[in-house]
Amino acid sequence: MSLKLTILGCHSATPRVNANPTSQFIEIKNHSFLIDCGEGTQVQLRKNKIRFSKINHIFISHLHGDHFYGLVGLVSTFMLLNRTTDLHIYGPKGIEEVIKLQLKLSNSWTNYGLYFHELNSDKSEIIYEDNGWTPYVRSIQVYEVPGDHDGMVLEPNVRVLAAKMARHPRAV
């Protein structure tokens, strides 16, 4: 199975010279996923030569700014690049409201289908599944993993069990 993970940013609540807010790009065969979209994600995508058109599913783990402040900019850039392919955004309750409000107040729009999938379950559940068969990947599933610092688990052909994530002792 071909799996490629590109860390675009991690462990930085603010942009720094050598670190960026959270964002990861995952490719599994013909499937591409963006996990979180902190500030600077677009620049990191360009630096890593990742085509924006490959991104059709974005998963936002939780509504802390370092995980989603780059999202409205990316959604707007897709419009400027004349995107026509649907975009699906998965995230906690409130993600649709905050992104649509930013687009409205900036007099922006999309020329493609923008679909929000708000998550509010208190138990782990499948939030995305693609049973498109390829020789090495029979299915891909993404699970919501509720907790204090909510998360998601990408699962290609295997069962992944995840426990509730504990808040870091120094976290506010």
Length of the chain: 172
Nearest residue to 152 (alpha-carbon basis) of 87, 61, 58, 80: 61
Q: Is the per-residue pLDDT at 139 higher than 60?
A: no
Q: Is 94 helix (H, G, I), strand (E, B) or coil?
A: coil
161 belongs to a structural domain: no
Which residues constitute the domain of residue 71? 3-156
How far CA 38 is from CA of 22, 98, 107, 123, in Å, comes to: 5, 15, 22, 26
Q: Could you tell me the pLDDT band of residue 116, with boundaries at 50, 70 and 90?
A: very high
Residue at 165 is within a domain: no
- Residues 15-32 have a mean pLDDT of 86
Q: What is the CATH number of the domain that holds 107?
A: 3.60.15.10
Q: How many domains does the chain have?
A: 1
Q: Provide φ and ψ at 77, rounded to 5°.
A: -60, -40
Q: Is residue 121 a part of any domain in this protein?
A: yes
Percent of the chain's residues with pLDDT above 90: 49
Residue with tokens 């998360």: 151
For residue 169, tell me if it sits in a domain: no
36 labelled catalytic? no
Q: Note whether residue 47 is domain-resident.
A: yes
| Residue 170 located in a structural domain | no
**Is residue 172 situated within a structural domain?**
no
The order of strands in the sheet holding 23-28 is 3-9, 23-28, 31-35, 57-59, 87-92, 114-119
- Residue 21: how many CA atoms within 13 Å on its side-chain side? 22
Residue type, 14: T
Catalytic residue chosen out of the listed positions 66, 86, 122, 148: 66
Q: pLDDT tens digits for 39-61?
A: 999 999 999 999 999 999 999 98
Question: Does the pLDDT of residue 148 top 50, yes or no?
Answer: yes
Run of H or E including 24: strand 23-28
- 50: phi then psi, degrees, rounded to nearest 5: -95, 120
